[in-house]
Amino acid sequence: MKLPTLDARALILISAAIVIDNVVGETVYLLKIPLFLDCIGIFTVAMLAGPFAAAVAGALGIFIGGLTVQPFALPFVPVGFMIGLTAGGLARIGGFRTWWLAMISGALIGIPTTLVSVPIIVFLFGGVTGSGVDFASDYLVAVGSTLIKSVGFANLGISLIDKSLTGLIAFMIANRLPLRLSTSFRFFAHSRG
Amino acid sequence: MALIVDELVFRFPGAPAPVLNGCTFAIGGGERVAILAPNGAGKTTLARWMAGLLPDGGFLNAERGGVRIGGLPATSFTASQRAVAVQFVGQVPAQQMSGAAFTVYEELAFGPCNLALPRAEVRERVDRALAMCNLEHLAGRDPFSLSGGEQQRVSIASALAMRPSILVLDEPTSNLDPESRDALIAHLRALPDDMTLIVLEVALRPSLAFAERFLLLDGGAIVADGTADDVMRHPRCVALLGTTAIRAAAAQIRDAGKWPAALRLPLLVDDGRVAFREAADALG
Amino acid sequence: MDRQRAQAARTLLFVTAAGPLHALNPLTKLMAFLWTVSAAIVLPPTLTLALVVAGVVLAYVAGVGGVVPAKLVATIVPLAAALALMHGFLIVRPDEVPLGPLHVSPAGFRYAYSVVARIAAMLTASLLFVTTTHPGDVLASLDAAGVSPAVGYLIASPLLLLEPFSKRTRAIRDAQRARGMNLTGTWKARVRALPALLVPLVTLALSDLDHRAMVLESRAFGGEKRRTVLDAPPDSRGQSRFRRIVGALAVVQLAVPLLWH
């Protein structure tokens, strides 16, 4: 299978998305909102440039984070790849045409994300990620659930809410972009309402 | 290398009117040209067409006409051919950085390396461009840590490292302080004689120092083409560009009926000194 | 030419030094890192811990002893505590014994210890790589190896744009605060502030897109199949051979436990 090529604009879009996702986390932390919202850039790339570009943005975003502040995050590169690929696939079938579709798509993306991340968290990190989700996992384990189920359900719960909101915000952003910018990405036709 | 804009008509998707409407002019090799127009008149769009950055292979295409560089349609050039034929430097300094270089030296080398030139030639070009734009002391610095004026010089040096036949500059002095502006103008005056220089500006004054020919852009078309004085005589000139203080003063004297008919209105302070003396002598 | 690259990238963990690791080709170090990750997965905890100790010693030899151990401890200690809590106290195991009101599992603690050793080994290897390898050198070695310039751009550009963009983000926040936005009030106010902060931030990041694309096009990016590499990191036949052996080992040693079972 021949991989799609990325032109200069797609490369810059991916680069911008990686920077956005790294910096948004800082803003969310400042507002003390208990969410991640660190995939807004990936979702935007998915809507503008499609699944391949978004998968590259997702994987590289985590890799870049690993080179700068979180070497710990490097094993989650496949998770970023999966988020981008799924988001791009959903954008292709019109999953981001309206605000409520964008929220549903976001929530749907949470499912394969959790499926890929849970084995990494459980088998590589013993069920612990160092984030607030660990409290939920600990609680579920304490009330008798197995480790995989606890980590799975805790991460799925947070992921559904987090990705759903991410879908909504990415939808708002993509539809407020200057026409000159958004029309220059042909793939965006799938998401234009 | 000659550049011809031929009956170019271009409109952005969804726009009610074309931003370039039958724009036509020809610039010969080695000319120093200033294209003047107020904000929003289509200067940057025209600059992008001249630099071969439009059409973009997507939705942005000409309705009619096009650009020819060296006698060939600009659309027939490969990326490398176009990069060697014409270089473009935009308005906002920070937006001119490639985002792929960790130092100024690497920024200047980025283009020549993309052309797959031999290492020795790349180094020679970069060293020369650094010297031409007074950037040797900044060679090891992060381009994004520089001031606006320094970044503007880096982007011009990066363009010069490509050794283009044509250099297109979009309002190169607009984001600079007076000292940086004067330094930049000095660099532009020192460019190789065989390089065509096209500068797009909102005001006449900055380009007077290095341009020999002036074009006035209005309504998407060129309405005046000649010396600075030819442009200033155009009825739309004052409305589009305003006027220099010296010229305004002389025009006031002319309106009061006290300016000799044969004497041209001055544009610069030095011209004004001579002209006012001649006018005073003529009046006795 | 003195490139002063550490000055160029304050957001990186890279440390400027003249140690033996800095002189190695980045691809050699990358391969060693991948081998360590593979080894940490298959080795017993004692040997994995030995990798950590070797890594810390190497950090001091390489001149990054001021950064690697500190970052390692800062990351591992909370993780170890969380793992001990989860596996030693919370997860029910057959060997658990009562300890006052709690139940403690020695097997659980042993499991937590094995996970901590594994993560510590991976983290040490990762920290050694990023503290002794500037991304510019990774780029140059990828260019020299004939990898597409697009890959190099995607690694370099976000690293370079991170700091200028963070600065502009702070400016947007300050501007919104000056206009009366409440960033520390009720959760409703904070949630309402979110789009007002994020939308201009993202729009700003993307507005540069056109201009930067023009710059790349102007400079003939992607115009030729290969780019000139000005300062390729030094390489040798020995390092090349080492990479091939270590790379093969990294894959083979992963397969051994599977075959064993």
The ipTM (two decimal places) reads 0.81
User: Tokens 């980025």 — which residue?
Assistant: B110
Q: In sequence order, which residues have a C-beta less than 8 Å from that of residue B278 and are 6 or more positions away? A: B260, B263
Inspect the interface and report whether the beta carbons of B99 and A183 lie closer than 8 Å: no
Pinpoint the alpha helices (H) of chain C: 5-8, 20-23, 26-42, 45-62, 68-83, 106-132, 135-144, 149-178, 187-218, 237-260
Distance of alpha carbon A157 from alpha carbon A136, whole angstroms: 9
Which of A12, A15, A183 is nearest residue B59 as measured by Cβ atoms?
A: A183
Rg, chain A, Cα only: 16
Same domain, C134 and C155: no
Distance of alpha carbon B116 from alpha carbon C227, whole angstroms: 5
**β-pair type (B196-201, B213-218):** unpaired
pLDDT-based confidence at A145, cuts 50/70/90?
low
Which of A64, A130, A142 is nearest residue C78 as measured by Cβ atoms?
A: A130
Q: How far is CA B45 from CA A108, A147, B20, C27, C169, in A?
A: 42, 60, 8, 44, 29
Would you state the pLDDT for residue C187?
75
Would you state the pLDDT for residue C12?
67
**CATH no. for B3-242:** 3.40.50.300
Which of C85, C193, C213 is nearest residue A8 as measured by Cβ atoms?
A: C213
* 3-state class (DSSP) for residue B62: strand
Would you state the pLDDT for residue B198?
95
Query: Could you say which residues from 222 to 241 on chain C have a Cβ atom under 8 Å away from some Cβ of chain A?
Result: 222
Asked, for residue C6, whether it belongs to a domain, the answer is no
C174 vs B: CB within 8 A: no
Chain C residues with CB under 8 Å of A75 CB are: 122
Domain span including residue A78:
9-190
**β-pair type (B3-10, B20-27):** antiparallel
Counting as contact any 3 or more CB pairs under 8 A, the partners of B are: A, C
Which of A9, A41, A128 is nearest residue C79 as measured by Cβ atoms?
A: A128
* A128 or A83: which leads in pLDDT: A83
Same domain, C124 and C102: yes
Same domain, C124 and C177: no
pLDDT in tens, C75-106: 889 889 888 888 888 887 888 888 888 888 89
* A127 or A163: which leads in pLDDT: A163
pLDDT in tens, C129-185: 989 988 888 888 988 888 888 888 888 888 888 877 888 888 888 888 888 777 777
Same domain, C161 and C123: no
* A171 or B261: which leads in pLDDT: A171
Distance of alpha carbon B213 from alpha carbon B31, whole angstroms: 8
Same domain, C29 and C113: yes
Which of B97-101, B123-127, C129-133, C169-173 shows the lowest per-residue confidence on average (mean pLDDT)? C169-173
What six digits make up the tokens of B132? 């031409």
Would you state the pLDDT for residue A69?
66
Helix or strand (DSSP H, E) at A176? helix A147-176
Asked, for residue A2, whether it belongs to a domain, the answer is no
A40 vs C: CB within 8 A: yes
pLDDT-based confidence at C248, cuts 50/70/90?
very high
Would you state the pLDDT for residue C3?
44
Distance of alpha carbon B169 from alpha carbon B131, whole angstroms: 20
Which of B51, B94, B114 is nearest residue C220 as measured by Cβ atoms?
A: B114
Distance of alpha carbon B272 from alpha carbon B253, whole angstroms: 12
| Contact (Cβ atoms closer than 8 angstroms) between residue B197 and residue B209 | no
Residue of A nearest to C79 (CA): A130
Chain A residues with CB under 8 Å of B56 CB are: 184
How many domains are contained in chain C? 2
Which of C1, C156, C229 is nearest residue B100 as measured by Cβ atoms?
A: C156
Counting as contact any 3 or more CB pairs under 8 A, the partners of A are: B, C
Same domain, C78 and C44: yes
Burial of A97 (0-12, 13-18, 19+ CB in 10 A): middle
Asked, for residue A4, whether it belongs to a domain, the answer is no
A180 vs B: CB within 8 A: yes
Asked, for residue C5, whether it belongs to a domain, the answer is no
User: Tokens 């002598």 — which residue?
Assistant: B281
How many beta-carbon pairs below 8 A join chains A and C?
A: 174
For the CA atoms of A55, A57, A63, A67, what is the dihedral angle to 10 degrees?
180
Asked, for residue C225, whether it belongs to a domain, the answer is no
- Position C1 pLDDT exceeds 60: no
- Position A144 pLDDT exceeds 70: no
Distance of CA A53 to the CA centre of its chain: 13
Asked, for residue A3, whether it belongs to a domain, the answer is no
Same domain, C42 and C137: yes
Burial C146-155 (b: 16+ CB within 10 A, else e): eebbbbbbbb
- CATH 3.40.50.300 residue spans of chain B: 3-242
pLDDT-based confidence at B241, cuts 50/70/90?
confident
Q: Of the candidates A157, A166, A165, which has an alpha carbon nearest to the alpha carbon of residue A136?
A: A157
Query: What is the overall mean pLDDT for chain C?
Result: 84
Distance of alpha carbon B34 from alpha carbon B125, whole angstroms: 27
- Shortest distance, CA B87 to any CA of chain C (angstroms): 6
Residue of A nearest to C183 (CA): A31
**pTM for the full model?**
0.82
User: Tokens 């993309």 — which residue?
Assistant: B114
Distance of alpha carbon B28 from alpha carbon B3, whole angstroms: 7
pLDDT in tens, C217-229: 899 998 888 889 9
Same domain, C122 and C248: yes
Rg, chain B, Cα only: 20
Domain span including residue C32:
11-141+235-260
Distance of alpha carbon B5 from alpha carbon B26, whole angstroms: 6
Distance of CA B155 to the CA centre of its chain: 14
Asked, for residue A1, whether it belongs to a domain, the answer is no
Same domain, C204 and C240: no
Would you state the pLDDT for residue B280?
85
Cis preceding-peptide flag for B192 (omega within 30 of 0)? no
Tallying the residues shown for chain C, one arrives at 261
pLDDT-based confidence at A15, cuts 50/70/90?
very high
For the CA atoms of C93, C95, C99, C104, what is the dihedral angle to 10 degrees?
-40
Residue of B nearest to C135 (CA): B102
Would you state the pLDDT for residue A76?
87
Chain C residues with CB under 8 Å of B140 CB are: 1-4, 7-8
C76 vs A: CB within 8 A: no
Inspect the interface and report whether the beta carbons of B58 and A184 lie closer than 8 Å: yes
Would you state the pLDDT for residue B28?
92
